[in-house]
């Protein structure tokens, strides 16, 4: 069994860390934004006073925090992970952040004699709770092979994409698909409702055809039942699409539908829904008259 540090035990990180604990691994936790979950500390996880202390006591350190500046802070800020590392340890960032910054972070950690993987996830809170996450990994094959048994406790579809940064690039691509599919499902269900047809029955019919998808299944139900507690917050998806649009600009390409979907997320945020689930995008469609 391994000594594992875990920083970022919020909506996603809490169940992910819980799976590692249930498998018998020794956990060392530090608070980021969310308080340390009582079920983890009651189960034997050690509460540390800093990210540095987590790194000192752990063999593998996992971060699961909201954005690029958060990762930089927990890695390289005062009393950060880098200050507590010794040669041979491994840092695994499972946050969703900028691919370019990820490459820089990996280089700095490598210079300390440690390994680095970027391993963002998809599947939301449901996937995290069910240990069914998709995990997209960037980094060396040998490091991936060493950490893969831990990934298998948290997810089912685990793929080494390429070198450091490749996992984050795959996650940005994933978030483009998710966002545009949420937008499409929103348009379809609002269209049905405005045409005087029961959207719940339309959704049920579509699930059995070529339009069926996990998003139609899960988020379509959220839209119909108006259950918009996160899940995955709009403000986080805004961040992911910002990364996509910045990357597209650097690659001299256009992502027109990504841009328009980002505007719908912006409309949601402007209405005070930034902390709601990203399926709340349907409310922007309802208000805009797009459908």
Active site (catalytic) residues: 171
The span from the CA of 199 to the CA of 285, in Å, is 14
* Alpha-carbon gap, residue 51 to 265, rounded angstroms: 33
Count how many residues are written for the chain.
291
Q: How many whole angstroms separate alpha carbon 173 and alpha carbon 138?
A: 14
| Beta-bridge partners for 233 | 277
Q: How far is CA 289 from CA 187, 194, 198, 221, 285, in A?
A: 10, 10, 18, 21, 6
Torsion of the alpha carbons at 140, 143, 148 and 153, rounded to the nearest 10: -120
127 contacts: CB under 8 Å, gap ≥ 6: 121, 133, 134, 155
8 Å CB contact between 285 and 187: yes
Q: How far is CA 234 from the centre of its chain?
A: 12
């Amino acid at each position: 069994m391994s000594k594992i540090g875990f920083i970022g035990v919020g909506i996603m990180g809490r169940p992910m860390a819980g799976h590692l604990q249930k498998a018998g691994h020794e956990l060392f936790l530090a608070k980021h934004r969310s308080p340390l979950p009582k079920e983890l500390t009651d189960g034997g996880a050690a509460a540390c006073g800093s990210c540095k202390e987590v790194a000192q006591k752990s063999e593998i350190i996992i971060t699961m925090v909201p954005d690029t500046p958060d990762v930089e802070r927990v890695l390289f800020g005062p009393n950060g992970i880098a200050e507590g590392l010794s040669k041979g340890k491994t840092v695994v960032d499972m946050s969703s952040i900028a691919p370019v910054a990820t490459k820089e972070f990996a280089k700095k950690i490598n210079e300390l004699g440690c390994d680095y993987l970027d391993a963002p996830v998809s599947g939301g809170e449901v996937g995290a709770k069910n240990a069914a996450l998709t995990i997209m990994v960037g980094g060396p094959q040998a490091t991936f092979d060493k950490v893969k048994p831990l990934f298998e406790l948290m997810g089912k579809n685990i793929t080494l994409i390429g070198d450091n940064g490749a996992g984050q690039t795959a996650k940005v691509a994933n978030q483009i698909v998710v966002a545009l599919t949420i937008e499409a499902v929103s348009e379809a269900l609002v269209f049905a409702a405005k045409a005087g047809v029961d959207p719940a029955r339309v959704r049920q019919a579509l699930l059995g055809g070529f339009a069926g998808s996990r998003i139609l299944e899960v988020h379509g139900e959220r839209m119909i039942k108006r259950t918009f507690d996160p899940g995955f917050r709009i403000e986080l998806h805004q961040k992911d699409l910002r990364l996509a649009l910045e990357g597209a600009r650097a690659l001299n390409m256009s992502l027109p539908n990504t841009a328009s979907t980002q505007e719908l997320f912006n409309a949601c945020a402007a209405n005070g829904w930034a902390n709601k689930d990203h399926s709340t995008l349907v409310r922007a469609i309802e208000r805009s008259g797009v459908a």
